[in-house]
Amino acid sequence: MSAPEKPIKVVGFNGSAKKDGNTAKLLEMVFTELRKEGIECEMVMVGNADHVRGCRGCNGCKATGKCVHATPGDPVNEWYAKMMEADGIILGSPTHYAAVSVEMKSLIDRCGWISMVSGGTLKNKIGAAVVAVRRGGAISVFDQINHFFTISQMHIVGSSYWNEGIGLKPGDVENDEEGKRTMANLGKNMAFVLKKMKKED
């Protein structure tokens, strides 16, 4: 008897400190469409991590496949393991001074370096950026996240507009009709690509 087929899985990293803020709501809009297609989705909180810092560039991860400087409470190796388990990765961030949150930047630098020195372990995974913004600066955040995907040799999924939702107070993005359509289309497009790739495996 053959083993049951492994379900397609997407992990979304929430770079906001607000568990139920606009970034989380945008990620959930994408998840809604993915789940309709039978794709497993998991949200991982990044923006509330206490022990976050930059990469030291020591290359210790080359031998171990994990950050050797991660102390108890530092979630970077957990985050990387979640990326490795997933077929698709969504990085969601609020816009902080036209940039990703510092916690999201830590994830990008550290997980990206582990992948790179380990031979490109994130290669051929599917990636998508999701950005929450009050008014301006979202395109810089979108670019930063997509730079992580391209240098990791991942495949980026697009939508009908840049993947951003506009709102200030938590929940405001639910009033952004174009933003909601953009997230729904992103979820549909991501499901299409993931299922196509699974079929060819």
CATH number, domain with residue 128 = 3.40.50.360
Percent of the chain whose pLDDT exceeds 90:
90
Q: What is the pLDDT of residues 32-69, one digit of tens each?
A: 999 999 999 999 999 998 878 889 999 999 999 999 99
Q: What is the pLDDT at residue 2?
A: 59
Work out the mean pLDDT of the chain and round it to a whole number. 95
Is there a domain that residue 31 lies in? yes
Q: What is the pLDDT of residues 7-30, one digit of tens each?
A: 999 999 999 999 999 999 999 999
Confidence class of residue 1 from pLDDT cuts 50, 70 and 90?
Answer: low
As a whole number, mean pLDDT of residues 129-144 equals: 97
Judged on CB neighbours under 10 Å (0-12, 13-18, 19+), 73 is: exposed
Tell me if 1 sits within 8 A of 154, measured CB to CB: no
Confidence class of residue 102 from pLDDT cuts 50, 70 and 90?
Answer: very high
Per the structure, the complete domain to which residue 99 belongs is given by 9-200
Is there a domain that residue 15 lies in? yes
The number of distinct structural domains making up the chain is 1
Is there a domain that residue 115 lies in? yes
- Hey, which residues does 41 pair with through a beta bridge? 10
Helix axis angle, 177-200 relative to 22-36, nearest 10°? 40
Is there a domain that residue 2 lies in? no
Is the pLDDT at 176 greater than 90? The verdict is yes
Q: Which of 7-11, 192-196, 197-201 has the lowest mean pLDDT?
A: 197-201
Is there a domain that residue 3 lies in? no
Is there a domain that residue 4 lies in? no
Tell me if 104 sits within 8 A of 47, measured CB to CB: yes
